[in-house]
Amino acid sequence: MVIDVRKLKYSGKDECAFHFEYEADGSAITLPDAEFCGKVTVNGRLILDGKSVFVDGEIDYSLSTLCSRCLTGVIFHNVVEFDEEYSEVESGEDVYKFKKGLVDLTEMVNEKLILSMPYSVYCKEDCKGLCPECGANLNQTKCEHIK
């Protein structure tokens, strides 16, 4: 996910749109039994401003995972917005560095992914879960343990 800012400058523009499809590795995922379902897509806009580059847009991904209560398979879809600054000269807590005119979004996208990960996912808001005694899926059946 690298954008060549020099090319943009040579072409006399100071703004461009970008679109990446990204094969994220599973290390960003905090949920057990979850994996990325398809590619992570990153759509956004880049604006040149002196020595700084501003990017904003959206990261879109789906996880194939299990309901945290009843363990039914579910797809969790998430959209994460970003709005960040990159700089060739200064570095700070809120500024990403870039070198040789190449802005690499990978680190930033991975950070956003990690921060956006859910701690639990439910198949539906009022999922009744599993009976702690017999393991019956209480969305589908009643059992003698739950009154």
Q: Which of 30, 133, 141, 142 binds Zn ion (CB under 5 A)?
A: 133
Closest contact distance (angstroms) between CB of 118 and Zn ion is: 14
From 14-22, 27-35, 102-110, 131-139, span contacting Zn ion (CB under 5 A) = 131-139
- Contacts (CB under 5 A) with Zn ion, residues 32-71: 67, 69-70
Q: Which residues of 48-85 are buried (b: 16+ CB within 10 A; e: fewer)?
A: beeeebbbebebbbebebbbbbbeeebebeeebebebb
Closest contact distance (angstroms) between CB of 127 and Zn ion is: 3
CA-to-CA dists, residue 100 to 88, 97, 103, 108, angstroms: 8, 10, 9, 18
Secondary-structure breakdown of the chain: helix, strand, coil percentages, each rounded to the nearest 5: 15, 45, 45
DSSP state of 117: -
- Contacts (CB under 5 A) with Zn ion, residues 70-129: 70, 123, 127
Length, in residues, of the chain? 147
Query: With CB under 5 A, what is the number of residues at the site for Zn ion?
Result: 11
**Residue type present at position 20:** F
- Which is nearer to Zn ion, 9 or 145 (by Cβ)? 145
- Which is nearer to Zn ion, 11 or 140 (by Cβ)? 140
Write out the residues near Zn ion by the rule CB under 5 A.
Answer: 67, 69-70, 123, 127, 131, 133-134, 136, 143, 145
